[in-house]
């Protein structure tokens, strides 16, 4: 990569999909993806992956002021990388070479003052600013589709603000810049024996600022789940000035300013750093895989676990379809991947009690494997074996498979929600039945809708649904995308109608706005709009995400617009 390609300091990304440009599927993985697509029968035409030279991007409509010229890029690569996120629709549109709304410019601030200067310029010149972390949004959060009322758009990439700048060992907290990718911040914490231990599936290509802005959910299945739990204080640059909150372990002083910033999705300000609560790196680990004869029994067991006070770090329930899809089930059994971790104490008592609970609900497990996983030395290795290890490897590699699935004309997507236990069964059955019916109607074939729990709370689980369907057999990805739109609009509606949240951890962005408007009280949204009018009076920050700026009806745009 040459300086003329980009102002980024990171490796070259696959601008149209997941991963770095030079990362490829192994032959084995490629064969498996093709076999998965092949299960639907018939031939599929594969569309060739796009190259930068395939795109004739609209010329930039704006130019930066001289003072910002050195941190602003208008190269095709930089504009393409910042044009879309990483949803199915984003990848499909890239394969269609259909990027009508690239950002006019991409700014790479080196300092907080640079961020403020970009916001000053944009506010004065009616330019929309889209804060950009890792760009892993799957709901249109980073897409500069803001309507016609702006002079232009700037994507604001925080990647140079990626340091762990201060560690408070006594309080076990660190001040971390918002643009740090997961692996970057973990590498800086590791020498201190510390970890944030917030591991979304997108860890490698998502940032602290993106997590805070979207209220992301990490790997922990209970207790420490949402990034919200780790935020001690935030520092945010807004067009109206700096909003910095006080570091406190807890506070009952009125509505929390951090709670307003967390989840604001770039619409209120640019988070530049945060004090984050850390953890000691775990030294004790234990895991077990438990099979249940039915989903109902498995759900009862997980509910008991979630209300037991044991707080397993891993409590992923795979329904029979999900277990089979991941090669760890027979299509009838539900599989629970259970894990505990601690930096302080052996886990025998926790695991013992958890296994008693699952056994009460008909759960079957390998007693010897569970026992071996408790042994300190063997434990780490055991952790990566069996169904737990197999599922974990598939989980990390899964995003890499999707580009080829899209190229083959497959629609493969996920949606997630959360619901209280009393309504779970109705939601689970309803979502699976209705989604399968929509796929049957739109794509003309049967499709299995799989479900797993990503997180469990004492009062309910966060189910995560996934499906694959044939979008096109002829390489007509426009048809595939149109079918995805129908399915996506329907699943948004189904989840909200059945009482779930429109998103448990994938944010609102542009694609979930309709559902967000249905689940959030109108008076609250009016109050949020009031906050936006104060912090962003010119209405330039990520217009169309969450709410519209005052007097500028942007509405639902992006992939569903
Ligand atoms: C394969 C895959 C797996 C995923 N797995 C998970 C998962 O396990 N858990 C989960 O929660 N999500 C997951 N996601 C969704 C996504 O990774 C999260 O929403 C993540 O938090 C986004 O972080 P990012 O740095 O990539 O933000 P971006 O995608 O760059 O931005 C997301 C939103 O936040 C805003 N934003 C970004 N940085 C800032 C900032 N510094 N200040 C203000 N606003 C900002 C943007 O404007 C945008 O609205 C996944 C996505 C993919 C593609």
d(CA 326, CA 329): 8
Q: Which of 137, 406, 412 to mutate to test the pocket of ligand 1 (most atoms within 8 A of CB)?
A: 137
**Cα angle at 465 between 462 and 470, to 5 degrees?**
170
267 Cβ inside 6 Å of ligand 1: no
Distant-in-sequence, close-in-space partners of 358: CB < 8 Å, separation ≥ 6? 290, 292, 301, 305, 336, 338, 365
| Tokens read off for 529 | 């709009």
3-state secondary structure string, 188-225?
Answer: HHHHHCEECCCCCCCHHHCEHHHHHHHCCECCCCCCCC
- Residue 255 alpha carbon to ligand 1 centre in Å: 25
Q: How far apart are the first and last CA of the chain?
A: 35
131 Cβ inside 6 Å of ligand 1: yes
By C-alpha distance, which of 127, 120, 124, 135 is closest to 105?
127
Among protein residues, the one with the nearest Cα to ligand 1's atom 45 is 266
Q: Which of 88, 107, 133 to mutate to test the pocket of ligand 1 (most atoms within 8 A of CB)?
A: 133
Phi and psi at 235, nearest 5°, equal -125, 120
d(CA 349, CA 320): 29
**Helix, strand, coil content of the chain in percent (nearest 5):** 40, 20, 40
In contact, 455 and 216? CB cutoff 8 Å: no
pLDDT value for 369: 82
- Residue 136 alpha carbon to ligand 1 centre in Å: 5
Q: Which of 14, 91, 210, 455 to mutate to test the pocket of ligand 1 (most atoms within 8 A of CB)?
A: 210
Sketch the domain layout of the chain as residue ranges. 513-560
Tell me how far the alpha carbon of residue 412 is from its chain's centroid: 16
214 Cβ inside 6 Å of ligand 1: yes
pLDDT value for 379: 43
If you search the block for the tokens 């510390």, which residue do you land on?
Answer: 194
Q: Where are the beta strands (DSSP E) in 357-427?
A: 364-365, 410-416
Where is 155: in which H helix or E strand?
strand 152-157
What size, in residues, is the chain? Answer: 561
138 Cβ inside 6 Å of ligand 1: yes
- Residue 556 alpha carbon to ligand 1 centre in Å: 19
Atom number in ligand 1 closest to CA 268: 43
Among protein residues, the one with the nearest Cα to ligand 1's atom 36 is 210
By C-alpha distance, which of 266, 251, 167, 166 is closest to 207?
266
- Determine the 3-state secondary structure of 186 from DSSP: helix
505 Cβ inside 6 Å of ligand 1: yes
464 Cβ inside 6 Å of ligand 1: no
pLDDT digits (tens, 9 = 90+) for 540-557: 999 999 999 988 988 888
- Residue 403 alpha carbon to ligand 1 centre in Å: 19
Atom number in ligand 1 closest to CA 227: 11
- Residue 206 alpha carbon to ligand 1 centre in Å: 6
In contact, 438 and 490? CB cutoff 8 Å: yes
| Tokens read off for 466 | 């996934």
329 Cβ inside 6 Å of ligand 1: no
For residue 14, give the DSSP letter: -
- Residue 9 alpha carbon to ligand 1 centre in Å: 20
Distant-in-sequence, close-in-space partners of 416: CB < 8 Å, separation ≥ 6? 454, 462, 463, 464, 465, 503, 504, 505, 506
For residue 142, give the DSSP letter: T
For residue 245, give the DSSP letter: P
143 Cβ inside 6 Å of ligand 1: no
Beta bridge partner(s), residue 72: 107
pLDDT digits (tens, 9 = 90+) for 91-149: 999 999 999 999 999 999 999 999 999 999 999 999 999 999 999 999 999 999 999 99
92 Cβ inside 6 Å of ligand 1: no
pLDDT value for 381: 45
pLDDT value for 386: 62
| Rg (alpha carbons) of the chain, rounded to whole number | 23
- Residue 518 alpha carbon to ligand 1 centre in Å: 22
409 Cβ inside 6 Å of ligand 1: no
In contact, 234 and 274? CB cutoff 8 Å: yes
In the chain, which residues have pLDDT < 70? Answer: 1-3, 376-391
Atom number in ligand 1 closest to CA 454: 8
In contact, 316 and 454? CB cutoff 8 Å: yes
Sign of CA dihedral 288, 293, 295, 299: negative
């Amino acid at each position: 990569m040459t300086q003329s390609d980009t102002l980024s300091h990171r490796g070259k990304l696959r601008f149209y999909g997941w991963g770095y440009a030079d990362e490829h599927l192994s032959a084995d993985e490629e064969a498996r993806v093709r076999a998965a697509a092949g299960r639907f029968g018939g031939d599929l035409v594969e569309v060739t992956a796009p190259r930068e030279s395939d795109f004739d991007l609209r010329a930039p409509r704006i130019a930066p002021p001289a003072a910002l010229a050195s941190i602003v890029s208008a190269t095709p690569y930089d504009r393409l990388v910042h044009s879309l996120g990483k949803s199915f629709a984003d990848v499909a549109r890239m394969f269609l070479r259909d990027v009508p709304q690239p950002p006019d410019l991409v700014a790479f601030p080196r300092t907080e003052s640079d961020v403020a200067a970009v916001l000053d310029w944009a506010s004065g010149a009616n330019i929309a600013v889209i804060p950009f972390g890792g760009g892993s949004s799957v709901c249109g959060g980073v897409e500069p589709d803001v309507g016609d009322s702006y002079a232009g758009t700037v994507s604001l990439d925080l990647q140079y603000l990626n340091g762990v700048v201060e560690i408070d060992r006594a309080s076990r907290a660190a001040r971390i810049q918002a643009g740090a990718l997961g692996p970057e911040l973990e590498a800086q914490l590791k020498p201190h024996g510390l970890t944030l231990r917030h591991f979304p599936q997108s860890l490698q290509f998502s940032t602290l600022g993106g997590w805070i802005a979207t209220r992301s959910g990490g790997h922990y299945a209970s207790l420490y789940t949402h990034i919200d739990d780790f935020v001690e204080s935030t520092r945010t640059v807004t067009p109206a000035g700096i909003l910095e909150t006080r570091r406190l372990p807890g506070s009952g002083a009125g509505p929390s300013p951090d709670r307003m910033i967390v989840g604001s999705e770039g619409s209120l300000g640019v988070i530049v750093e945060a004090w984050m609560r850390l953890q000691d790196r775990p030294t004790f680990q234990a895991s077990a895989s438990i099979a249940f004869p039915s989903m109902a029994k498995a759900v009862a067991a997980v509910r008991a676990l979630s209300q037991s006070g044991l707080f397993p770090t891993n409590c992923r329930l795979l329904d029979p379809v999900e277990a089979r899809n991941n090669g760890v089930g027979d299509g009838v059994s539900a599989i629970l991947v259970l894990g505990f971790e601690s930096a302080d104490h052996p886990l025998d008592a926790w695991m013992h009690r958890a296994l008693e609970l699952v056994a009460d609900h008909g759960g079957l497990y390998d007693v010897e494997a569970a026992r071996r996983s408790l042994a300190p030395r063997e434990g780490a290795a055991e952790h990566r074996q069996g169904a737990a290890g197999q599922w974990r490897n598939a989980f990390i590699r899964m995003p890499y498979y999707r580009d080829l699935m899209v190229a083959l004309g497959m629609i493969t997507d996920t949606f997630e929600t959360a619901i209280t236990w009393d309504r779970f069964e109705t939601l689970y059955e309803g979502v699976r039945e209705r989604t399968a019916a929509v796929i049957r109607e739109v794509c003309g074939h049967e499709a299995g809708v799989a479900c797993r729990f990503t997180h469990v709370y004492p009062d309910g689980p966060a189910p995560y649904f996934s499906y694959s369907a044939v979008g096109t057999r002829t390489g007509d990805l426009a048809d595939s995308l149109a079918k995805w739109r129908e399915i996506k609009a329907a699943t948004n509606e189904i989840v909200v109608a059945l009482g779930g949240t429109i998103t448990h951890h994938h944010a609102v962005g542009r694609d979930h706005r309709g559902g967000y408007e249905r689940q959030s009280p109108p008076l609250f949204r009016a109050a949020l709009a009031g906050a936006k009018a104060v912090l962003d009076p010119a209405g330039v920050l990520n217009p169309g995400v969450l709410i519209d700026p005052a007097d500028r009806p942007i509405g639902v745009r992006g992939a569903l617009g």
